[in-house]
Structure 1
């Protein structure tokens, strides 16, 4: 299944960035899986990583400001590239979590390095508030909830025919079993993307690509969140920024999903099909609005 290969490719991409090492991943996972661990243990494990990355982003931000002040465009662009790389890194971690949540309901991850990274990324992402740096890491979102690595078994997942078996949750904060409404939406997504792409692609491949990877990247787009909050769905669907963000998301996914991304880049019909699927059963607009409302509530 292409989605499984994608998971390993995404893990390799994240590891290769050099933003963390295996020791830091293992340390966080050890805290999460130790029932005797304390909140202070989690803080000690993950805060230094977040602090290092936030400072790296802040340094690049200052480099760009200084470069623009002296009208040094190459240096300013180099600094912006450093910032963009960190933002993309955070987005890729989010994509990994969504892919893991989907695939862990089908496959038994005997290689616990996969699950260790899930635990590590889940803790790191909320702390990386790029552009909102403080002198110290904001640890208000860091609350220890113990996790256990265990064999949950595996089930065949058939979303296109017959009855779909309910799947076991990842953990108390995981994705849970698919409900009837969610299954109906997944069935509708599969029906809409069926025939959109060419080649030997399974329903699962297309579902993960459109409703997981692409939608995940769009859900992290601050501009789209603002537009969803301040426009009707019809206005949002016609936004040129949505079309551009969709194109950017496809290009970001090119390495891990070469076949489908290449087809989408070369065909406006495929891009329109992805957009319509996400705006329909994919509920992109509704989810963007929900994220915006949650952020407004958190700022009050």
Structure 2
């Protein structure tokens, strides 16, 4: 199977696993009660940014369970997501905001969150932009953010309120340097490296029109029902023919191993996203006075979710996958300085990207690459415990911190202190497993391989703590 798809599937499975989410909920609740809740005379609020609607629902279930079990009456959460969510693994079917928030009692989510009844808002692609709540003091992020999405999301914290002098971001998913990079173009002054040609929207539309995936009558029909505020069923019937055409072409291309046709379909999928981004941005600046652009934008916004890989491809079977051990590890607190002066690149025409050839590997290989260093019959939890202890000890070494900051990775790898610190870390892991630690100490090949696996990550961590 496609290695990238396999890794993504496994990681999504781990992210949504109840054990993982419950651990994060514990961190969030305890951090909020200790560091956030008492602020603003006890009125401070927080937002949790989740990666999907299903994740938001699972966060809500875990959050309510945790505060109930611990008898916490000072923190309660609302969950915000659009449409309906079915999660049979959680015994949830056709859940809505109303059913997941029984305390709303007909109120708007914004109004309910503004009261003293709720302190935390769990969101999935909602309220990340255009949401003004001055009492918002903390944000807990469990979703990859980049570019303007990172800026818009974290900027929900910027609203002022009396005695609000500090804000918090606790991030499970992003590196601090990536967030700084996202903010740089918008710090102090925002400049463009070049002028964006407004005609690229028409060029992208023309490119999409000739594919024959959708018909003009289907676009017109969906827009008519959309403006009439008809329900999802009425809108879905207009995009279903295009979805089926796309699906039929993809099936035929796969059956005939027609790589050219498969690449064309992949580019079509990308061009749909490109058009939506181009039009959303440029229509705020340019008055196109072209109804066909607006209509296509409305139509493609409903078609795009129907032709994603997740919708069209068979899901990878993860029914036999499980993990023995998972834990959350605190990283160093970062307060990075913005410099500004980074120019924004203009929008590019559609079709300038390339289609990636998948790297095919067995799913077992994806998982085995982190478990194949030890021999013998040992629970994975024991192996992970020992390796995690060794890694943490290396990352806590002040000697290695100093050397990592002033040397390249190659120079750092040759440090005589590295081996002595590694041996000390292995000895310290004896409490977790005498046998595994002894195996590392007595097997130079295993010791070399283990250190080689850990070294790049340790070096990166040590440099990130500067």
TM-score between the two structures when normalised by the length of structure 2: 0.27
Q: By percentage of residues, which structure has more strand?
A: 2
Larger relative contact order (Cα-Cα within 8 Å, sequence gap ≥ 6): 1
Q: By percentage of residues, which structure has more helix?
A: 1
Larger Rg: 2
TM-score between the two structures when normalised by the length of structure 1: 0.41
